[in-house]
């Protein structure tokens, strides 16, 4: 059984997803991005200091649980980022993949015409 299937079937039930407002959904997305970008553990949303900060900053906002974060928000962020990367790679004029013997990931070099100067892409805006 592939990892995605086993994780989704045991971890989350889509029927349990709570309906949230558009504002709360945007805040949840930002919390997921913060956890991903800062390499925070999922339990970060349960820390006293973070809860106190959020209750002061956004009264009435209910933080997502670590289960919601790990089963819904982070996978959605992954899927969105993956789609953006794939779209950028499709736009590339030339793509070269170079497996590295010393690293556990694949280096991808792309060449395409850019309409404005770029130094690098942001982690979530690729």
Residue length, the chain? 126
pLDDT at 101 (0 to 100): 59
Q: What is the pTM of this model?
A: 0.63
Using one digit for the tens of pLDDT, what is the confidence trace for 16-29? 445 678 999 999 99
Three-state SS string over 69-101 comes to HHHHHHHHHHHHHHHHHHHHHHHCCEEEEEECC
Using one digit for the tens of pLDDT, what is the confidence trace for 37-69? 999 999 999 999 999 999 999 999 999 999 999
Buried/exposed code over 46-66 (b: 16+ C-beta within 10 A; e: otherwise): eeeebeeebeeeeeeeebbee
Q: Mean pLDDT across the stretch 70-88?
A: 92
pLDDT at 90 (0 to 100): 79
């Amino acid at each position: 059984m592939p990892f995605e299937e086993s994780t989704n079937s045991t971890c989350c039930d889509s029927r349990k997803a709570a309906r949230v407002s558009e504002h709360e959904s945007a805040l949840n997305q930002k919390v997921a991005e913060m956890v991903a970008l800062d390499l925070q553990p999922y339990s970060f949303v349960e820390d006293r200091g973070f809860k106190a900060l959020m209750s002061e900053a956004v009264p009435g906002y209910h933080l997502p649980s670590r289960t919601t974060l790990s089963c819904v928000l982070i996978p959605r962020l992954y899927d969105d980022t993956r789609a953006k990367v794939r779209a950028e790679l499709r736009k590339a004029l030339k793509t070269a993949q170079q497996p590295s013997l010393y690293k556990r990931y694949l280096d991808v070099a792309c060449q395409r015409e850019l309409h404005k100067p770029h130094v690098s892409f942001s982690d979530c805006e690729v």
